Amino acid sequence: MYGNLDRRSAAKVFGVVAFAVALAGCDSEAASRPAPSGSVAQSALQDWYQGKQPVLRSQVDAIRSRIWVLTLDGIALYEASTGEEIAQVPLPGWLWVGEQYACPPDLAIGPAGDAVISSNVVPRLWRIDPLTLAASEHELVLDDDTGKDIGFTGLAYSAQQGAYFAISAGQGSLWRIDPRLQRAQNVPLSAPIANACDLAIRARAPDQKASRFVGLCVRAGNANWAVNLAPDQRSGYVSQSSCLTASRIP
């Protein structure tokens, strides 16, 4: 299956709080706060060190001081400042396949601090309420019948557009998902991005804040690709890029 979370991986998970927020530009004050210390990370993930629990994805919500970790059993939620475990949240009916078949499913943080988890084999999402921590399943209605059997291996929320964007490794296709998690619209690309395993919203330069263009960064294998969406988000142009300003992909 997927790689185990060792000490180096844990340090990476707990050390990206300020880095991720600074690049995303969502909270300048949170970006200046120090990341949790290595001792905090070591204490919080001691069970993973001992049991070698595989970690599929992780996301930091620095505004709310939370760390969401996607494991084989569902979601583990931690308090970022102390490293204390808040909850273990199972995902009823969650479907996914291992790395021998596809890139792992993904995890995104929504506008209210909710966690949204994909499947890498079917067009369904699971949402965890940030207050009750209740998990709900959402089957998407696709506008393209050719994508009925796809899953999403990259998922990110764009605050500017008020929508989620998702990528499928099998088809190399891009999708726009409404914030209510009901419908997914295919966004035609100038070229498919095969084996796309990660997706991020590209941070904007100060002189681009008013621009209507949306920039995405996609990781496929050892390469990063920039996707520039048209203002109407009905098409996207793909080009190879280092994507150094992406909010999730280093």
Host domain of residue 104: 97-250
Note the pLDDT of residue 33. 33
Q: What is the pLDDT of residue 101?
A: 81
pLDDT classification of 120: cutoffs 50, 70, 90: very high
Q: Is there a single domain that holds both residue 169 and residue 71?
A: no
Indicate whether 234 and 208 sit together in one domain. yes
Residues 108, 181, single domain; the answer is yes
- Domain match, 125 and 72 both: no
Confidence (pLDDT) at 147? 56
Query: Residue 98 pLDDT more than 60?
Result: yes
Do 176 and 147 meet the contact criterion of CB atoms below 8 Å apart? no
Please check whether residues 54 and 101 belong to one and the same domain: no
- Kindly state whether residues 86 and 113 are assigned to the same domain: no
What domain count does the chain have?
A: 2
Given 49, 70, 90, which residue is the final one in a domain?
90
Q: How far apart are CA 249 and CA 242, in angstroms?
A: 10
Highest mean pLDDT among 8-12, 44-48, 150-154, 205-209 belongs to: 150-154
pLDDT value of residue 100 = 75
Residue 21 scores a pLDDT above 50: no
The CA–CA distances, whole Å, from 102 to 54, 120, 131, 200, 245 equal: 16, 7, 32, 19, 26
Higher pLDDT, 32 or 6: 6
Whether 242 and 138 map to the same domain: the answer is yes
Residue that is last in its domain, among 49, 65, 90 = 90
pLDDT, mean of residues 29-38: 36
**Are 62 and 159 contained in the same domain?**
no
Is the pLDDT reported for residue 17 higher than 70? Answer: no
72, 161: one domain = no
More confident residue, 22 or 83: 83
Q: Are 111 and 48 found together in one domain?
A: no
Are 187 and 176 in contact by the 8 Å Cβ rule? The answer is yes
Model pTM?
0.78
| CATH classification of the domain holding 117 | 2.130.10.10
Cβ-contact 121, 95 below 8 angstroms: yes
What is the structure's pLDDT at 202? 84
Tally of CB atoms within 10 A around 112? 10
pLDDT value for 123: 95
Among residues 68, 90, 112, which one ends one of the domains?
Answer: 90
Judge if 245 and 153 occupy the same domain.
yes
What average pLDDT is seen over the chain? 78
Q: What per-residue confidence (pLDDT) applies to 212? A: 59
pLDDT in tens, 141-192: 998 766 567 899 999 999 988 999 999 998 899 999 999 999 999 999 999 9
Q: Same domain for 81 and 196? A: no
User: Which tens digit of pLDDT belongs to each residue from 209-228?
Assistant: 545 567 899 999 888 999 99
pLDDT of 4 above 70: no
141-142 and 183-187 strand pairing: parallel
Residue 205 pLDDT grade (very low, low, confident, very high; cuts 50, 70, 90): low
